[in-house]
Amino acid sequence: MTNLMVPHEEHSPLQHTGLGEGRIEVICGPMFSGKTEELLRRVRRAQIAHQPTIIFKPSKDTRYNKDQVTSHDANALPSVTVQSSEAIVAYLRAQTKPITVVAIDEAQFFDADLPRTCAHLADQGVRVIAAGLDLDFKGIPFGCMPELLALAEEVTKLHAVCMETGRPAHFSHRIAGGDNTVEIGEKDRYIPLTRQAFVEARKQNPGEEPSAS
């Protein structure tokens, strides 16, 4: 049989016609790497293609307005704040028209069921775009992210600019605040660093556990 599929343009939501091309895309990286910007870019393109979209974010993320997702660049789109992955399913079930693109920001703050929920949605034909921190401030894989990364068809790792060296940064170093894994903050609390700068910076916090090795 002839293959009628057109070549796949990477990241192009226009290839996702709403005809049931379910998949999981994960956008990850440290703080300030442009994850939210990239999520918003993909959602906007899906909207240009007239695809019904919803952006969810966890109630743990108390920065900015609770009714929108905002990047550090002050880019924003309306969003729905939910407590859990179960609440995402309940919200989608309550919609009168089918949603073909589901975007989830700050995915690392969700419960352990999020990867399974995303896989279930993708199985049903939904394009799931999840953005989140791959590592916590100690350099340890963050919450449900490893499983989500494993289940995803496509993973985009972004880098921020290292505040010590100006090079691509993969780590989010906490410069103020306690030792809890979840500590909501901005530039006052976190700076992106390269591995080398991160290792050096962590040596100056002798009271804390070393990062995962």
Shortest Cβ 175–ligand ADP spacing (Å): 13
Residues that bind ligand ADP (CB under 6 A): 29, 31-37, 71-73, 160-161, 163, 192
User: At residue 124, what are phi and psi to the nearest 5 degrees?
Assistant: -90, 5
Shortest Cβ 76–ligand ADP spacing (Å): 10
- Encoded tokens for 198: 């991160």
Clarify whether 106 is annotated catalytic: yes
> Is the CB of 16 or the CB of 35 nearer to Mg ion?
35
User: For residues 91-108, b (16+ Cβ closer than 10 Å) or e, as one string?
Assistant: ebeeeeeebbbbbbbbbb
Distance CA 193, CA 201 (A): 9
Label residue 27 left, alpha or beta by phi (over 0 means left) and psi (-120 to 50 means alpha).
Answer: beta
85 binds Mg ion (CB under 5 A): no
> Is the CB of 143 or the CB of 192 nearer to ligand ADP?
192
79 binds Mg ion (CB under 5 A): no
SS3 assignment, position 10: coil
Part of the chain binding Mg ion (CB under 5 A), chosen from 28-36, 74-82, 91-99, 204-212: 28-36
Indicate which of Mg ion, ligand ADP, none lies near residue 58 (CB less than 5 to 8 Å, by partner kind). none
Nearest C-alpha neighbor of 181 from the set 149, 150, 211: 211
> Is the CB of 2 or the CB of 62 nearer to Mg ion?
62
Part of the chain binding Mg ion (CB under 5 A), chosen from 14-22, 36-44, 167-175, 202-210: 36-44
Selected binder of Mg ion within 36, 85, 156, 172 (CB under 5 A) = 36
Nearest C-alpha neighbor of 108 from the set 130, 89, 87, 93: 130
Of the residues 106, 164, 183, 186, which is catalytic?
A: 106
Q: Please identify every residue annotated as catalytic.
A: 106
